[in-house]
Structure 1
């Protein structure tokens, strides 16, 4: 079997509410859907988040063609090493989502050829369902509380909120509203996306701890592990590394530094599903839980991640997903939205490979939306563009 073509389609799928973070916002998810065709008629599906942009992903996919076309899609290790070393792509992090999409599609092909769901090929079902948190869009406190109530009604047990606002009183009011809306038993997780200095992080975490936080994600720079370790030594709430742990090599450094209580990992940021499994193995050896991070994903990438997590023991926290924000999806029978979750959990697909199928009508609709309005889906807003943002904020 040989790969004959890489067919990429960028799509833009709206969110129900804007995703807001410390330095901007976006109105929806841009992904590049990938179909890898073979000379035996088997097609594999992959998905790359449009990170840092869909144009970059598309350019990388074009650059990969000489390395991928003609290769055997079942020889995944050999193919990825060819991309990394012969193609010299291994040190350029912005290329990772495109590479990960190719690797994902190859796994889909292998599963289809074997007639087995991907979870079986990665070690078998350790769990039947995978838990995800409910992503609460940052807004006015009353909006945060209402959205948390919506998540609670849908059966979610863990709630995630971005912090790092320009005024710290806004963060406090939003987290208070999150606790009010989610209820006393819910687990609350906040993410500052590196917005705080070490001193501010210590003060804010101590202030927010009264709301019963499960984890605080990346309160300070991911580039200076000493800062993260300093904060960890001075607060009681466990810290989750994210920007500090995007690749296996970063994760190893965080573990050695003792800088976090849990680590996030993302196949799209580290070149593939097999590397996500390897990340979990590093964390397990260090006695740490691992959490699946997401750059934003539709049903194809969600299904791929679910297969890996279901086959891997130490994904013990709720994982990051975009179900709460997505207004629609591009797959048939397995969606990226809340309807795919039951009590905050996604069942592992049982079909061969990834177990998902694209909906051609919705793919066409959101491909056209990307063509017309794709630039407006990027991480920015007029206020952020007009300002002069600094990291950290204070």
Structure 2
């Protein structure tokens, strides 16, 4: 079996409301659908969600690098030659989501070809994950109402709170309102998207010391090297790295440098192959992980779920698997369903991604 063609199809689906965080705002899911075709007729599918304010990629740059650089390098190769494929992709620096989408689509090809779910090929630990939902950058009453709806409608009891605004008192008040309104039965953690200084972060953590936060994620920039190390010494909860760990070498740097005590794994930026390497690094060092989300559609959510359910360590915490609920529509022929706070891996071979071709025709931007 050989790879014969790689498609990079731009599409855009509006969000129900703008999604805001300290590093930026998005109003539409302007993603790229990636399809890897083989001479056996098998087609693997994934998506690349560009985040220019985080990794520097845009929808146009992802299409350009796939069409002009990556596809010519790997067409004609067997999808089983994953190390050869990554060696060729890594001749080009950066472009993490473009590389990751190709990697995940190739795993989908392999799963379909051997008649097994990708989750089983990766590790086969389980077939589901608990779901975490993101709230933030709104009035406390709005955030409480949204979290309450998610709990009542979908059984979600873990919430990621976007913080990083100034003054910090606004975010502290929002977290306090969530805890007071929803009680001790929910799990809360915060994500600053690099919005605070180390000193501001320490002050905010002190102000929220009684809220039983699970952990804090990327409160200040990776370039605040000494400040991040100092913040870890001040914190009584785990400090997770996210945007600062886009590849295994950065994971090593953040952990050994003392700038983080936990890692967010996002398949959108490390695919399945490099997400495995990150996971095994963390497992070997006794470091906790969480499955993050790149504001993925249901396609990317299925990929995160497939990986997270495959391993015991990634299954411990609720995964960020509900961002697709903020989208006005999606491309999957059979929509995902969150029930009792849980998402289940799709039955069948590969990733179980079936695209609604009519919707793709409607939302694609290259025709």
The reply to whether TM is greater than 0.5 is: yes
SS of the equivalent of 1:57 reads helix
Moved more, 23-32 or 196-205: 23-32
What is the deviation of 1:245? 1.8
Task: Name 2:54's counterpart in structure 1.
Answer: none
Q: For the Cα contact (< 8 Å) 1:118–1:354, is it kept in 2?
A: yes
CA distance in 1, matches of 2:303, 2:177: 34
Q: CA deviation at 1:301?
A: 2.0
Quote the Cα distance in structure 1 between the aligned partners of 2:122 and 2:281: 16
RMSD between aligned residues: 1.8
Q: Which residue in 1 is equivalent to 2:150?
A: 151
Residue number in structure 2 paired with 1:323: 324
- Provide the C-alpha distance between the structure 2 equivalents of 1:209 and 1:320, rounded to a whole number of angstroms: 24
Moved beyond 6 Å, runs of 4+: none
Structure 1 Cα separation of the partners of residues 312 and 225 of structure 2:
27
In structure 2, the partner of 1:304 is 303
Structure 1 position 333 matched with structure 2 position 364: no
**1:267, distance to aligned residue in structure 2 (A):** 2.8
**Equivalences for 1:119-268 in 2 at 5 Å?**
119-124=119-124, 126-153=125-152, 154-268=154-268
1:364 aligns with 2:361: yes
Distance in 2 between residues matched to 1:67 and 1:209, nearest whole Å: 52
Distance 2:132 2:228 in 1: 24
Deviates more, 1:204-213 or 1:106-115: 204-213
Q: Deviations over 1:181-214 (max 9, x none)?
A: 4332111111111111111111111112222211
Change in 2 beyond 3 A, CA 1:311/1:219: same
In structure 1, C-alpha distance between the alignment counterparts of 2:331 and 2:181, rounded to whole Å: 30
Separation (CA, whole Å) in 2 of partners of 1:170 and 1:329:
33
Residue by residue over 1:111-159, the C-alpha shift from the partner in whole angstroms, topping out at 9 and shown as x without a partner, is: 11111111121122x1221122111142112211110111211211210
Is residue 255–residue 286 contact of structure 1 (8 Å, CA) maintained in 2? no
Show the counterpart of 1:382.
none
Name whichever of 20-29 and 149-158 sits farther off: 20-29
The count of corresponding residues between Structure 1 and Structure 2 is 358
Name the CA distance, whole Å, in 2 between partners of 1:209 and 1:15.
Answer: 34
What TM-score, normalized by structure 1, do the two folds share?
0.86
Q: CA 1:345–1:196 in 2, change beyond 3 Å: closer, same or farther?
A: same
Q: CA deviation at 1:50?
A: 2.1
* 2:293 corresponds to 1:294: yes
Contact 1:225 1:244 (C-alpha < 8 Å) held by counterparts = no
Length-normalised TM-score, structure 2: 0.92
- The answer as to whether partners of 1:137 and 1:325 remain within 8 angstroms in 2 is no
| 1:111–1:223 distance in 2 versus 1, CA, 3 Å | same
Structure 1 counterpart SS, 2:25 = strand
CA distance in 1 between partners of 2:88 and 2:290 (Å): 29
8 Å Cα contact 1:330/1:359 also seen in 2: yes
Query: Is the 8 Å Cα contact of residues 96 and 246 (structure 2) preserved in structure 1?
Result: no
Secondary structure of 1:189 counterpart = strand
Deviations 1:72-102 (A, max 9, x none): 1222222112222xxx11xx22x11111111
8 A contact 1:151–1:182 mirrored in 2:
no
1:18 corresponding residue in structure 2: 18
- The Cα of 1:35 is off from its aligned counterpart by 1.5
Extract unaligned runs of 5+ from structure 2. 52-56
Deviation at 1:6, TM superposition (A): 1.3
